[in-house]
């Protein structure tokens, strides 16, 4: 019998919340099936199963927070008799933290949001949105969703939530004296824990809250930023970084792109970012020391190239899902896969394998006008590529100074695995590939 465990969805993850089960006891599952959603500081992630068989037991209830590696379910052989059904896990009373809701943006600005599921008996909303609505004690009925196909988003709940909180004081169990004390001290009674009968707030609870100072729960974006800060601080402390930078003439690449797009449908047209993404992946074929992870005190090179895209989220936060086998297939196929990844990320449908499988990361701030980027490596990877904006600069061509579109590319490497000489050779290979875009 195999165990389905709480996965590690990043070097900074130590615990996770089992947000939603997608299966029940007795269900048949195959390798790669999504069987659960896990809430982390980086959002709601769909988790695949890596065994084929029958779900025999669900060991963790929805809403329960457990350490990484905790057994969540038991998967028996597919040929084994299906056991008698047991009671479905009862959702925990505490709501699962809502995932970050982010507005639509261009490819390269992928986001993490709640999972989108259709409820034939009610409004279209993700589990995270439904839990947030339950937390705010508001009904989704009658709320006009601003998401795709009318899906209700977390932002749609903001106004409703404010109105709900404005009347929350009337529903809170609190003694008259404690209510008056809280009003005099400017405390929000909807956020005060009660220790009286039935959870009622007493005067002592108000005094304790005043003594400890205001307590405002961190938003999902704040929790994500704290998790990233902890991971990057550790990476900066533990990984001996080195950096090399090169300016690359993008004239040939952009000219080829314009010519190619002229013959494509609007929905099939390529962006310059997809050329850089493919070129990075192809350059790694010859520089495999950079396409690796640091594990058990040594570098473990990967035979496959899975480039992760670093994505900034509104309100702070970052996620870097991977495009698997980035070096394979046509550019139009890669563009379609990148577009699909963006679309699924916007609907909260990122998979655990996309969160954990990146072998190197590409981060770009070119759309913000930044000229160069000096990125920090995402553990357990051993390298990261940063791209700035493509800007017109004076460039020498055939002995003449002419304006050319130039992009600055920075490689951050782990000195335990490679060195500046190898990093420079990688950037040279990347330059050569971008001078012949038709071969990508």
Sequence ranges of the domains in the chain? 2-76, 127-212, 222-439
Q: Which residues contact 192 (CB under 8 A, 6 or more apart)?
A: 172, 174, 182, 201, 205, 206, 209
pLDDT digits (tens, 9 = 90+) for 56-110: 999 998 888 899 999 999 999 876 444 544 444 444 433 333 333 333 333 333 2
Mean pLDDT of the chain: 79
Q: How far is 49 from 46, CA to CA, in rounded Å? A: 10
Count CB neighbours of 398 within 10 A.
Answer: 5
CB-based contact 116:151 (threshold 8 Å):
yes
Confidence of residue 46 (pLDDT cuts 50, 70, 90): confident
Length of the chain: 440
Confidence of residue 40 (pLDDT cuts 50, 70, 90): confident
CATH superfamily of 127-212: E3-binding domain (4.10.320.10)
> Tokens representing 416?
């335990």
Confidence of residue 169 (pLDDT cuts 50, 70, 90): very low
Q: How far is 3 from 285, CA to CA, in rounded Å? A: 35
Residue matched to tokens 């927070």: 65
Find the DSSP H helices in 116-247.
127-136, 156-166, 176-185, 203-212, 220-238
* DSSP code string of 22-65: S--TT-EE-TT-EEEEEEETTEEEEEE----EEEEEE-S-TTEE
CATH assignment of 222-439? 3.30.559.10
- The kind and range of the H/E element at 298 are strand 298-301
Give me the pLDDT at residue 361, please. Answer: 95
- Nearest alpha-carbon partner for 247 in 396, 410, 365: 410
Q: How far is 38 from 44, CA to CA, in rounded Å? A: 6
Q: How far is 150 from 143, CA to CA, in rounded Å? A: 10
What is the bridge-based pairing of β-strands 322-323 and 298-301?
unpaired
- The kind and range of the H/E element at 428 are helix 420-435
| CA-based R_g, the chain, Å | 25
2-76 CATH pick, 3.40.50.1010, 3.30.70.250, 2.60.40.1120, 2.40.50.100: 2.40.50.100
Confidence of residue 189 (pLDDT cuts 50, 70, 90): confident
| 14-18, 111-115, 424-428: range with lowest mean pLDDT | 111-115
């Amino acid at each position: 019998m195999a165990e389905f465990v709480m996965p590690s969805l990043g070097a900074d993850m130590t615990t996770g919340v089992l947000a939603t089960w997608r299966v029940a006891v007795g269900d048949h599952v195959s390798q790669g099936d999504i069987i659960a959603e896990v809430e982390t500081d980086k959002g709601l992630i769909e988790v695949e199963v890596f065994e084929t068989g029958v779900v025999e037991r669900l060991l963790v209830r929805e809403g329960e927070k457990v350490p990484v590696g905790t057994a969540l379910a038991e998967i028996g052989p597919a040929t084994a008799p299906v056991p008698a059904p047991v009671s479905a896990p009862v959702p925990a009373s505490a709501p699962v933290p809502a995932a970050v809701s982010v507005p639509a943006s261009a490819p390269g600005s992928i986001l993490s949001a709640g999972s989108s599921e259709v409820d034939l008996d009610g409004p279209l909303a993700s589990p995270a949105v439904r839990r947030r609505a339950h937390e705010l004690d508001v009904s989704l009925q009658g709320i006009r969703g601003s998401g795709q196909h009318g899906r209700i988003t977390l932002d749609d709940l903001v106004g409703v939530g404010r109105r709900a909180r404005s009347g929350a004081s009337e529903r809170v169990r609190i003694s008259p004296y404690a209510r008056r004390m809280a009003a005099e001290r400017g405390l929000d009674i909807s956020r005060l824990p009660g220790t009286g009968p039935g959870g009622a707030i007493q005067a002592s609870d108000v005094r304790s809250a005043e003594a400890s100072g205001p307590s405002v729960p961190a938003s999902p974006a704040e929790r994500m930023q704290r998790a990233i800060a902890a991971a990057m601080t550790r990476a900066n402390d533990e990984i001996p970084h080195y950096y090399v930078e090169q300016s690359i003439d993008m004239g040939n690449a952009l000219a080829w792109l314009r010519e190619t797009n002229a013959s494509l449908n609007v929905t099939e047209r390529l962006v310059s970012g997809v050329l850089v993404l493919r070129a990075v992946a192809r350059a790694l074929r010859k520089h495999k020391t950079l396409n690796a992870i640091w594990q058990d005190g040594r570098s473990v090179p990967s035979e496959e190239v899975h480039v992760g895209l670093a994505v900034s989220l509104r309100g702070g936060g970052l996620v870097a899902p991977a495009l698997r086998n980035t070096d394979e297939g046509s550019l139009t196929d890669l563009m379609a896969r990148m577009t699909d990844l963006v679309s699924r990320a916007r609907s909260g449908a990122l998979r655990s394998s996309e969160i954990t499988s990146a072998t190197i990361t590409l981060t770009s701030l070119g759309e913000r006008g930044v000229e160069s980027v000096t990125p920090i490596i995402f553990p357990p990877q051993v390298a990261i590529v940063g791209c700035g904006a493509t800007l017109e600069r004076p460039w020498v061509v055939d002995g003449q100074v002419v304006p050319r579109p130039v992009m600055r590319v920075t490689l951050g490497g782990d000195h335990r695995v490679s060195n500046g000489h190898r990093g420079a050779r990688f950037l040279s290979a990347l330059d050569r590939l971008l001078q012949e875009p038709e071969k990508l």
